[in-house]
A = this chain, B = another copy of it.
Amino acid sequence: MTMGLRCVAIPVCGRILQRTFSLHTAHLRKDMENFFQLVKNIVPALTEKKHKGQDGRIGIVGGCQEYTGAPYFAAMSALKAGADLSYVFCAREAAPVIKSYSPELIVHPVLDSPNAVQEVKKWLPRLHALVVGPGLGRDDLLLKNVKGILEASKARDIPIVIDADGLWLIAQEPALIQGYQKAILTPNHMEFSRLWEAVVSSPVDSSDDHASVLRLSQALGNVTVVQKGEHDLISDGQQGPAHSWWPPGVRARSQGSATTRPFRSMAAPPPPLT
């Protein structure tokens, strides 16, 4: 089902490369080639040997009355990065809208139901990774259900990427994710400050972003932190942050909900041979 999407990724990168050759220097060209190689490493090769699901089954937890676009982009970009199946678990009212964006998605209108946690738990054995937060909003009922889903996912050792209002929930209750090293948090500037205030007692040292990212990761018990911005900074608390590199002319990650996309595939464990 996602083959068409996956086929698109490589030619698009090729076009970016071509355009960049004519606009930029040899140095940038080398960077672009590295970027192209990175994309190739992430996107699973097409093969006739596998069956649907083996290259990734990803769950997105988000989507409420106001926000339907973010979970759609999160789910679709998982497919575009090579996953086979994207499931969206959202509020009832958001479901028909998210479904209508694309027939590629499997959308469960359960997130505001009284038995939301049980409904999502049924699907957890199938999922390789979970993304929590895009379009979640801050409704009390939804956040309470998401807490239950986080606990159930941790109990199954599932990698979890947390973004947007998922990070707002973590800032309210850092214990939810404390020490869970299969979690990746992807805060922008504001979300980073909020997490820092919740977890570290002293004020953020804005003159040294590298040290701050390392320290927040350590304070959370080596949860991976990806601080989005002009240059994204990534740390797992073991090492000082590494920079990410993105093609020139691309909007900063902090300007949109695009960052969780590749992380979803990277966070997923090697697909089981089932």
Contact A103 B65 (CB under 8 A): no
For chain A, the bracket of interface size reads 35 or more
Q: Once the chains bind, are B101 and A252 in contact (CB under 8 Å)?
A: no
A263 within 8 A of B: no
A256 touches B97 (CB 8 A): no
Residue A125, interface by CB 8 Å: no
Give the contacting residue for A99; candidates B48, B68, B102, B258; CB below 8 A: B68
| Contact A255 B100, CB 8 Å, known A69-B105, A69-B106, A250-B3 | no
Q: Are B49 and A230 in contact (CB under 8 A)?
A: yes
Q: Return the contact of A48 from the options B46, B109, B252 (Cβ within 8 A).
A: B252
A143 within 8 A of B: no
Distance A106 CA – B65 CA, assembled complex (angstroms): 10
User: Once bound together, how far apart are the Cα atoms of A255 and B67, in whole Å?
Assistant: 31
Q: What are the residues of chain B within 8 A of A255 when measuring CB–CB? A: 1, 3, 50-52, 84
Shortest distance from the beta carbon of A39 to any chain B beta carbon, whole Å:
17
Let me know if A252 and B51 touch, CB within 8 A: yes
- Complex Cα spacing A68 to B103, Å: 7
- Bound-state CA distance A247–B103 (Å) is 24
In the bound complex, how far is the Cα of B255 from the Cα of A100, in angstroms? Answer: 22
Instruction: Check: A138 CB closer than 8 A to any chain B CB.
Output: no
Q: Select which of B7, B52, B96, B256 is within 8 A of A52 by beta carbon.
A: B256
Tell me the complex Cα distance, A109–B101, Å. 18
Which of chain B's residues has its CB closest to A257's CB?
A: B1
A-B contact pairs, 29 of them (CB 8 A): A1-B69, A1-B258, A2-B256, A3-B250, A3-B251, A3-B255, A7-B249, A46-B249, A46-B250, A48-B250, A48-B251, A48-B252, A49-B252, A50-B254, A51-B190, A51-B229, A51-B254, A51-B255, A52-B188, A52-B255, A66-B106, A66-B107, A68-B103, A69-B103, A72-B103, A73-B103, A84-B255, A96-B100, A97-B99
